[in-house]
Structure 1
C-alpha cells in the first residue's frame, strides 16, 4: 500500500499542469475598437468590462488566453453613437451580451518578444478565426503577473453579421486590447 501511494504521489508531481494560473485584471484592462465613418472621421469605443485568464502549459511551452468582454460596458463619445453600436445592426447587445476570444496555444516566448496570437473571436454569436499582433514587452514568460499584453488586430465586420450602413461605415474594424495580467 505504501508503494502504491508513493507511486501515485510521484505520478501526480510529474504530471504537467495546465491551469488558469493567471487572470486578466478586470479593473486595469480594456478593449477598444475604431471604424471609419464616411471616410472622414473615426468612430471609437472602449469596453470597460473585460475578464478572462491566461492558462500556461509549461510542459508544452504554451499559453492560452481567454477573454470575455461585456458589450454593454462600452463607452463612447456620445450617447447616440453608444445606442447605435449596441443596437441590432451592430453589436446587438440585447441578444449577444458578450464578445468572446480564445487563443490557440501560443508559444510562451511570444508572450515576451511579441508576435502573432491566433484564435477564435465570437461577436454576435458568430465565431471566426482571427490573428492579433502582440507587442513585445520586458516581462519573463515564467513571471507574467503585473505584465501588460497589448494586442492589435483588424476584422471585417460583415464576417460577424454587422451589415448595416455599409455605404457610410467601413467594413474594416480595428481592435485593440490592453490586458493586465495578475496572479490568481
Structure 2
C-alpha cells in the first residue's frame, strides 16, 4: 500500500553543533550584556497532512559563553538561570504553518525557564538562503521575554527586565524520519 505524501510525517533533529541561542540584557538600559547558549538539541516534526511543523528545543543552561568567565558563572547562578537546579531550558512551539517557515512571521509556543512555563511569541525571520537546500539553511527567530516572568527579579535597579533572544537552528535528518503517525 502506497503512502500518500499528505500523510507523511518527517522528523528533523536540531543540529547541536550548528544551532545556538543568543541573549542580551541591558545594564542601566544602555549597555548590552550578551551571552550565547551553545548546546541546543531537540526536533522538528513536519506533518505534511496538516501542512504544519512543531518544534521542541532543549537548551543546556550550563553551556553558555560570555565575555568573561565571571559573567558566565553569574548567569548560571541562582540569581539568573539557576543552572544547578534547572539545567534545561525548553521551548515547545504551537503548530507552525509550513508557509510561515518559508516566508517568516510570528510563531507562538511555551518557554520553560527555571521551572516556570510561560507563553512566548517569536518572530520567525524569512530565510535568506538562495539556492541552498533546507538542510543547509538555518531557521532564525527573535523575540523578547521579561526576566521577572521567570522568577529573575534581582538587580532591578541596574538590569533591564527585558531580555532579547535570537535563535539560529540548523537541522539534520533523524533515523526513521518518514512515518505514518
CA offsets 1:78-97 (integer angstroms, 9 cap, x no match)? 11111111110100000000
Could you say which residue in structure 2 is the equivalent of 1:123? 113
Tell me the distance in 2 between the aligned counterparts of 1:36 and 1:18: 42
Could you say which residue in structure 1 is the equivalent of 2:157? 167
TM-score by length of 1: 0.87
Aligned residues: 171
* CA positional deviation for 1:138: 5.0
* CA positional deviation for 1:139: 6.4
Tell me the distance in 2 between the aligned counterparts of 1:28 and 1:42: 24
Alignment of 1:179 onto 2:169: yes
Tell me the distance in 1 between the aligned counterparts of 2:153 and 2:35: 19
SS of residue in 1 equivalent to 2:78: coil
Tell me the distance in 1 between the aligned counterparts of 2:111 and 2:136: 25
Q: Which runs of 5+ in 2 are unaligned?
A: 175-181
Equivalent of 1:136 in 101, 126, 130: 126
The residue correspondences of 1:103-118 to structure 2 (distance < 5 A) are 103-118=93-108
Equivalent of 1:36 in 26, 36, 39: 26
* CA positional deviation for 1:22: 0.9
Moved more, 39-48 or 149-158: 39-48
Tell me the distance in 1 between the aligned counterparts of 2:109 and 2:30: 32
* CA positional deviation for 1:16: 2.7
Alignment of 1:52 onto 2:42: yes
For the Cα contact (< 8 Å) 1:112–1:139, is it kept in 2?
no
Equivalent of 1:68 in 38, 43, 58: 58
Q: Compare relative contact order (CA 8 Å, sep 6+) and give the higher one, 1 or 2.
A: 2
Tell me the distance in 1 between the aligned counterparts of 2:78 and 2:72: 12
Task: Kindly report structure 1 stretches of 4+ aligned residues shifted beyond 6 Å.
Answer: none
Could you say which residue in structure 2 is the equivalent of 1:6? none
Alignment of 1:83 onto 2:73: yes
* CA positional deviation for 1:17: 3.8
Q: Which runs of 5+ in 1 are unaligned?
A: 1-8
TM-score by length of 2: 0.89
Q: CA RMSD in A?
A: 1.7
SS of residue in 2 equivalent to 1:59: coil
Higher percent of residues as helix: 1
